[in-house]
Chain A
Amino acid sequence: EPEVTQTPSHQVTQMGQEVILRCVPISNHLYFYWYRQILGQKVEFLVSFYNNEISEKSEIFDDQFSVERPDGSNFTLKIRSTKLEDSAMYFCASSELEDTQYFGPGTRLTVL
């Protein structure tokens, strides 16, 4: 069964450093998403992406964040200058149409 994959599973970085989180969505899916879950809190929407454009972003998704689909298979989330409060589990998801989203296993980001 096709699944969304994410790398790395755990990323540790120093405050102020740039990180890139990688996702490989399900191959025939057209819509891509990033969510995050701070420990003990709700899963929060960050951004949705379709046809090489951001279609919606949350207030969390400020200028420090960017997304890219650099090739036909990867979907990345970049945080330019990490802050302590960016420590969270980041989930990638994809959907074939504007309906059911399938999630990856997540990347745990720890900012020191």
Chain B
Amino acid sequence: AQSVTQPDIHITVSEGASLELRCNYSYGATPYLFWYVQSPGQGLQLLLKYFSGDTLVQGIKGFEAEFKRSQSSFNLRKPSVHWSDAAEYFCAVGLKEYGNKLVFGAGTILRVKS
């Protein structure tokens, strides 16, 4: 069955430090991959997506992610974290053959120390 694993439930980084959030997926074909961010009490905002082509994708707010087929991973990175990046981050895989449903990981809560 299709699944998404985000192994880190919480991550704390200092403001200005680099960030990497891990995401692994289980899916038979090349998936559509997404990262969403959720601030407290808010909806899910799309950060970036991968469909095909260049495996390094750029998103909003200075985030990027790299698709690695051999590792079934789609890790999110940011070179310098800002206090406003504190939120919960969700990785998701899109299944076109199942009504385009998204299967989400459990999320990673990012805390930023000043």
Contact = CB atoms under 8 A, between A and B. Distances in A.
Interface stretch (B12-20, B63-71, B96-104): B96-104
Contacts of A100: 34, 46, 49
Nearest to B49: A100
B43 A105 contact: yes
Interface in A28-62: 31, 33, 35, 41-45, 47-48, 50, 54-58
B27 interface: no
A59 to B, nearest CB: 12
B105 A48 contact: no
Contacts of B103: 45
Contact of B106 (A31, A42, A58): A42
Contacts of A47: 99
Nearest to B107: A42
Contacts of A35: 102
A102 B46 contact: yes
Interface stretch (A12-20, A64-72, A75-83, A91-99): A91-99
Given A103-B44, A103-B45, 19 more contacts: A31-B100, A35-B102, A47-B99, A48-B99, A54-B99, A55-B100, A56-B101, A57-B99, A95-B100, A99-B32, A99-B49, A100-B46, A101-B46, A101-B102, A102-B46, A103-B43, A104-B43, A105-B42, A106-B43
Interface of A: 4, 31, 33, 35, 41-45, 47-48, 50, 54-58, 91, 93, 95, 98-106
